[in-house]
């Protein structure tokens, strides 16, 4: 079992010494993320922007992406995205909402018919998805509402479960993780679709899980060692859960790497966002959430004592 340990059982790393570096660094990244979102936005997929996705499979066994792009340009469909995924024979063919005298629905169907006529001999059409602008707007609203409600519900629970300083620290850490994830989507231009909403909700859950584990250990230590300085106590608490934190993050990262490499194009945005989110959530639980307790004025005496805490406190003193 010792071979499987990724961190020593007992460490004394002074995490709180780095809070004067981690906070300016995270503030800079957060400002950069907001700037990227306001200037570049995110690359909305057809789920949100509207359009048509056609999944093709080459009958010859290997898809010729260059030829497909040339044929797509000749069809005069506007911006067309041709990408390979999964097997060498699999291709996704995407184009935006078509406008014309026949109306959006009829124009979209006419565009699909032109694609069928142009590619039907060489490619098998396996799946067609059409999303109109009205549906896409509803998805944007529903997705945003789902994320906000999930965050508010969980954070309300934290507010009642812990002292208010813990809840505020968890809120700040979670918002930090969300801002950096949105900045990641803006910077990488990954397609933002419904699976991306699932990734954001999963990142929120993972962030809160990591945060609560650290906060719960800090509160436990504060009940035991009531005369220890707060920064030293937080360092001791983080070091106590460090093996568990590293093992959890490593296990999730290995699973996500498998999805990134073998999962294909369909879930690539989900996998990459989650992979980025695991790193950010682990970092924020240690270097953002925990030091925030010091800035919020949390002291040992503000945390309720356990029976026998006085004896433990005197022993530690």
Question: What's the structural domain count of the chain?
Answer: 2
Q: What is the mean pLDDT of residues 247-253?
A: 89
Query: What range defines the domain where residue 97 resides?
Result: 51-131
Structure confidence at residue 310 (pLDDT): 39
Whether residue 310 sits in one domain with residue 211: yes
Same domain, 88 and 146: no
Same structural domain, 70 and 21: no
Residues 169 and 282 in one domain: yes
Distance of CA 179 to the CA centre of its chain: 10
pLDDT digits (tens, 9 = 90+) for 149-165: 877 887 787 778 777 88
> 255 and 127 in one domain?
no
126 burial via Cβ count (<10 Å: 0-12, 13-18, 19+): exposed
Q: How far apart are CA 247 and CA 32, in angstroms?
A: 30
**Alpha carbons 18 and 2: distance in angstroms, whole number:** 29
Name the domain boundary from 109, 131, 153.
Answer: 131
Return the structure tokens found at 166.
């813990």
What is the pLDDT, as a whole number, of residue 308?
42
The answer on 75 and 18 residing in a single domain is: no
Residue 26 placed within a domain: yes
Residue ending a domain, among 108, 131, 154, is 131
Nearest-angstrom CA–CA distance, 20 and 288: 10
Q: Quote the pTM value.
A: 0.74
pLDDT tens digits for range 167-210: 888 888 988 999 999 999 999 888 887 788 888 888 988 888 88
Shared-domain flag, residues 93 and 193: no
Q: Examine the domain organization and report whether 82 and 117 are in the same domain.
A: yes
To the nearest 10°, the Cα dihedral for 239, 243, 247, 253? 30
- Cβ-based burial of 153 (10 A; exposed 0-12, middle 13-18, buried ≥19): exposed
Q: pLDDT digit string (tens) for 35-79?
A: 999 998 888 777 677 778 888 888 877 887 888 888 877 877 776
- 1 domain residue, yes or no: no
Residues 261 and 169 in one domain: yes
One domain, residues 147 and 86:
no
At which of 83, 107, 131 does a domain end?
131
Query: How much of the chain exceeds pLDDT 70, in percent?
Result: 83
Query: 158 and 90, same structural domain?
Result: no
């Amino acid at each position: 079992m010792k071979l499987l340990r990724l961190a020593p059982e007992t460490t004394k790393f002074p995490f709180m010494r780095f809070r004067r570096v981690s906070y300016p660094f995270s503030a800079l990244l957060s400002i950069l993320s907001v700037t990227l979102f306001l200037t570049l936005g995110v690359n909305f997929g057809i789920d949100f922007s509207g359009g048509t996705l056609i999944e093709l499979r080459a009958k010859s066994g290997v898809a010729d992406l260059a030829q497909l792009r040339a044929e797509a340009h000749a069809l005069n469909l506007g911006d067309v995205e041709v990408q390979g995924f999964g097997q060498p024979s699999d291709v996704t063919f995407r184009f935006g909402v078509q406008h014309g005298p026949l109306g959006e629905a009829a124009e979209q169907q006419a565009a699909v018919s032109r694609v069928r006529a142009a590619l039907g001999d060489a490619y098998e059409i396996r799946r067609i998805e059409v999303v109109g602008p009205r549906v896409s707007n509803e998805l944007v609203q529903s997705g945003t509402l789902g994320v906000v409600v999930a965050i508010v519900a969980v954070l309300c629970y934290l507010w009642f479960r812990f002292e208010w300083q813990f809840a505020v620290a968890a809120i700040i850490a979670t918002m930090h993780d969300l801002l950096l994830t949105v900045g990641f989507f803006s910077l990488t231009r990954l397609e933002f679709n419904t699976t991306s909403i699932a990734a954001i909700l999963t990142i929120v859950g993972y962030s809160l899980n990591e945060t609560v584990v650290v906060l719960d250990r800090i509160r436990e230590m504060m009940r035991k060692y009531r005369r220890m300085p707060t920064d030293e106590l937080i360092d001791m608490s983080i070091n106590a859960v460090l093996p568990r934190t590293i093992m959890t993050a490593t296990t999730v990262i290995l699973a996500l790497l498998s999805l990134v490499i073998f999962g294909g194009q369909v879930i690539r945005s989900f996998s990459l966002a989650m992979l980025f989110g695991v790193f950010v959530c682990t970092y924020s639980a240690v270097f953002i959430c925990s030091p925030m307790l010091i800035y919020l004025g949390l002291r040992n005496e503000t945390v309720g004592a356990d029976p026998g805490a006085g004896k433990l406190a005197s022993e530690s003193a």
